[in-house]
A = this chain, B = another copy of it.
Amino acid sequence: MARHMKVVVIGYGTAGLTAAGFAHKFSREAEVIALEERHYAVYHPCSIPDVISGKVKAWSDIVEDVYKSPRFKVLTSMKVTGIDASNQRVYGINLASNSRFSIEYDKLILATGSRPLRLEGIPGSELAGIFCVKNVEDGMELHRKALNSRKVVVIGAGPLGIEVSVALKTMGLKVSLIELMPTILPGKVDRDLAIAIMNHMSSKGIEVLTNNKVVEFRGKGNYVEKVLTEESEIDTDFVVLCVGVRPNVDLATKMGLKLGPLGGIKVDRKMRTSIENIFAAGDCAEVWDAITGKPAMSFLANACYQQGRVAGINAVGGDETYRGTLFSWAVSTEYFNLGGVGLTSERARHEGFNAFSLKLKAHYKPHFYPDSKEIVVKVIVDASTLRILGAQIMGEINISYILNFFALAILRGLSVYDLVKMEQVYVPNLIGLPDPVFKVLEAIIRRARAQIR
C-alpha cells in the first residue's frame, strides 16, 4: 500500500489554516494534519473588537467548525513540545487526555504565531485587570469586565488599540488611549492623517494621549486601579494592552532554526526555513517588505494568508513564490474606516525614496446624492517616476477594494501615469467620475508637470 505524503502543520491561526487548506486542495495525495494547542480550532481574532462593540452578536459566532476529510485533520489541545528534525518527528502532549504523542512528517509547516507583549519591564504589570486581546477567552474576559466598568485605559494606538478603544467607547465607557509615539497609528499613516483621526476620536469623547510613556501600574490589592505615565496619573477600572506582539519562536529556537535580525524564523522566497522539509509562515516567520526588500515582520492576517498559501502549496510539491508584504492594513470602527497599503511618506523618505505625496478629500459619489460621503485619499509616489509607493484611505464607506486596487498597483510597480489611462467604472449612485482616487492621481500629474517647468 502506498504511503501518503504527510504534511504536519503546527498552529491553526490564519497562517496555519491557510497552509493546511492549500496543501490539502493542491494535492490529491497528501495527508494533512494540523496540531493546535487551543481546545477550539478556528476563531476570528480580528473580530474580537466587533463582538465587544455588538456588531457581531455572540462570542460563539467567531468560533467555527473545522473542515474534515479523510486526508485532512485538525487536532486540538495538541501542544507540540519538540521537533526531531533528523527523524522528521513532532513530539508533544495532548492537553485533553494529558498523554504524550508523536507524529512523523514528510513536510512540516511552523505556524506558531505570536504572543502579545505584556510590558513586563514596567512595575505593576503583573497586576490583575490588565488584559490582552489575542484569543476568544481574552475577549470574553475583557468584555465581561467592561460590562461592569465605567472607565478603561487602552495602551497602544495601533489598529487594534483604535478598534478596541472605539468599541469600548460605544459600550459607554470613559476611554483613555495612551500611545508612546508622537502620533497614533505610528508607521501606519502619515502625521496629517494621524492628527485628523486623533481629532475625530477626541470629538467622540475618547481621550487620546500621545507621546506618553507608561511607567507604572498601581493596584488596590492585586487589581489594577491606576496607570501612571511620565506625564499623568489615570484612574481606571481595567487596562487593555495593545502594544504589539512578538513571534512565538520557542520550538524554532529549541531545534536550532535560523532566526532573522528581527527575531522571526528566517524563510526564503519559498517560505522554507534553514532546515530541510520545514517551512514557516505567519507571525512567527520573518519575511521582507515587498517594496524595499528589507526584513519585515508583518503580524497581519492578510500577510499570514499569503505566506500560508505559499508554504502550503510548496509543501506538497508546488512552486509558489512569496512576494513580500505590502503591509496592507485596515481598521473599521463605528466612527470611521481607515486603511493603508505600502509605504507611508515618512518611511518612503527614510528608505531613500524621493517621495512626494498628495492628499484630497472629496465626495465618493456626486455631492447631490443625499447619502454621499466624503473620503480622504492620500497617495505617496516616487517624485521622478510617479511610481505608486503607498496609499492611505479614510472614510465612512467600505474602502476595502480601493486599498486592493492600490495593492495591485504597487505589487505590479505601476505609476500614476499607468493608472490614469484606465477606464474607471461609473454609476453615479455608487461612484463619481472621476472619483476621489483618480482626482488625486490627476492632481499628482499636474503637480509633477508644474515642477518640471
Interface, chain A (partner B; CB < 8 A):
14, 25-26, 44, 46-47, 50, 55-57, 61-62, 290, 300-303, 305-306, 309, 320-321, 323, 325-326, 328-332, 337, 339, 341, 366, 368-370, 397-405, 407-409, 411-412, 414, 418-431, 433-435, 446, 449
Q: Which of B369, B401, B414, B428 contacts A404 (CB 8 A)?
A: B401
Query: Contacts A404-B401, A405-B401, A425-B404: A337 and B430 contacting too (C-beta < 8 A)?
Result: yes
Inter-subunit contact A411/B422 (CB<8 Å): yes
Residues on B with beta carbons closer than 8 Å to the beta carbon of A418: 412
- Closest B-chain residue to A401, C-beta based? B401
Bound: A430/B46 CA distance, A: 11
- Chain B residues contacting A449 (CB-CB under 8 Å) are 26
Q: Is the CB of B56 within 8 A of A368?
A: yes
Residues in B whose Cβ lies below 8 Å from that of A309 = 420
A301 touches B426 (CB 8 A): yes
Which residues on B sit within 8 Å (CB–CB) of A404? 401, 405, 422, 424-425
A14-B433, A414-B412 are contacts. A305–B424 as well, Cβ < 8 Å? yes
B46 pairs with A399, CB closer than 8 A: no
Complex-state Cα separation, A303 to B414, whole angstroms: 21
- Copies of chain A in the complex: 2
A332 x B302 contact (CB < 8 A): no
Give the distance in Å from the alpha carbon of A419 to the alpha carbon of B409 in the complex. Answer: 11
Mind listing 8 A-B residue pairs with CB under 8 Å? A46-B428, A50-B369, A50-B428, A56-B368, A321-B421, A328-B423, A399-B430, A401-B431
| Smallest beta-carbon distance A143→chain B, Å | 16
Are B409 and A408 neighbours in the complex by a CB distance under 8 Å? Answer: yes
Which of A326, A369, A400 has the most B CB atoms < 10 Å from its CB? A400
Asked whether A305 lies within 8 Å of B426 as measured between CB atoms, the reply is yes
- Whether A427 and B330, one on each chain, are in contact in the complex, defined by CB atoms closer than 8 angstroms, is yes
Which of chain B's residues has its CB closest to A57's CB?
B370
Q: Is the CB of B428 within 8 A of A44?
A: yes
Interface pair B369/A425, CB less than 8 Å apart: no
A199–B306 Cα distance when bound, in Å, is 38
Is the Cβ of A425 less than 8 Å from the Cβ of B46?
Answer: no
Evaluate whether A306 and B421 lie within 8 angstroms (CB atoms) in the complex, with A44-B366, A430-B332 already known.
Answer: yes
Contacts of A427 in B (CB 8 A): 46, 329-332, 337, 339, 400
Report the bound CA distance from A398 to B328 in whole Å: 20
CA distance A220 to B179 in the complex (A): 76
CA distance A302 to B431 in the complex (A): 11
Which residues of B have CB within 8 Å of A408? 405, 408-409, 419, 422
Q: Is A403 in contact with B425, judged by CB distance below 8 angstroms?
A: yes
Q: Contacts A368-B62, A412-B414, A431-B398 hold; do A425 and B339 have CB atoms under 8 A apart?
A: yes
- What is the CA–CA distance of A425 and B271 in the complex, to the nearest angstrom? 21
